[in-house]
Structure 1
Amino acid sequence: MVVTALDSLLSLQGHVLVFALPLWIVGHSQTPHWLIGVCGVVNTLMVVVFQVGASRGVVGNVSAGRGAVRSGVAFLLGMAAIAAAAGAPGRLASVLIVAGVVVYTVGELWHAAASFELGFGLAPARAQGQYSGLHATGSGLAGSLAPSVLALFCIIWGVPGWLALGCVFVLAGLAMPYAVRWAGRSRAAPSVADAVPA
């Protein structure tokens, strides 16, 4: 449940480029509105081309925890670049936003690999359905809260909000390896139910 909670926080990232970024481009930057489409294309192409490669290093729970750390850092760096566009002239703002989207998408690739691995890797064989259901519920809850959270952080609070949310992603990522190790230790100890024959 702790891993699911942390992953749910990181799952908010999936709505930044499709919800917060368009509003930011239109209302808080001196960039053309068609840049929204460019950012969408860049993000989509990167996911299609690089997702398999980004997943190759994630081969277990421990490496998935490290992937979550990397993703949190990439989210912060990408969001900082996007936030910096607010005070920049048009061309520079466009470059900052596209560069931020590229870095952010790298974080998205790492998070997707880590999330899928942990969603299945931490579940015992006898309860894959229950654990996967809980994991999916956390992501779904994050999706339902994302518009309100992102509107508060990224649109209402502006640049400080982008940076603060990026720091939330970093902290959630940094906490993930500890939560994964804790889950591994607790899994290693046999429970009473496992010790008593059916």
Structure 2
Amino acid sequence: MKRIAVYCGSATPADERYVALAREVGQTLATRNIGVVYGGGMRGLMGAVAQGALDAGGEVIGVIPEALAIAEIANPGCTDLRVVTGMHERKRAFVDLSDGFLTLPGGVGTMDELWEAVSWSQLGYHAKPVGLLNAFGFFDHLLAFNHHMVATGFVRQSHAGIIMAEPDLDLLLARMTGHEPHVPIFGMKASDL
């Protein structure tokens, strides 16, 4: 993987472990020569991921919607800052520029990005790994809900493993590197659906 899109919160939570984690993720990716593609902000976990990567000499591509860039939250320190018209273009750029997706703790926007990466994988719009860093058990309930969707039949068994979750970054990156694509919905026959 040459580049990974990192999805994470723009907020700075009171628990400092989250910011330290984000900085460590950016630094680790840079030391492994993996570029970071992210939301282009300079605050919260987003800013920490970018700064960790930049401090380690890594490539950081920020993709930010015009409205947020105008609000002066764009990170001018990115090696490449791209201003797009809106969120749809931003998420398309994440897919086009990266070889996989890594989700860290965050809020509604982070969940939107994660679920779109999962949905697009399931359908067949991309065949890239979707990783979830379940640090501090942050995503335990989300993973339980995903298992519930599989158990009730709303997610096909063949797509149950799209989300690769690990509490440890090294394990997660190893799984993402070894990713083998599943058969997407676009590749199925009507009788398989």
Give TM class, smaller chain: under 0.3
Higher strand share: 2
Question: What TM-score comes out, normalization by structure 1 length?
Answer: 0.26
State which structure, 1 or 2, has the greater radius of gyration over its C-alpha atoms.
1
Question: What TM-score comes out, normalization by structure 2 length?
Answer: 0.27
Where relative contact order (Cα < 8 A, 6+ residues apart) is larger, the structure is 1
Higher helix share: 1
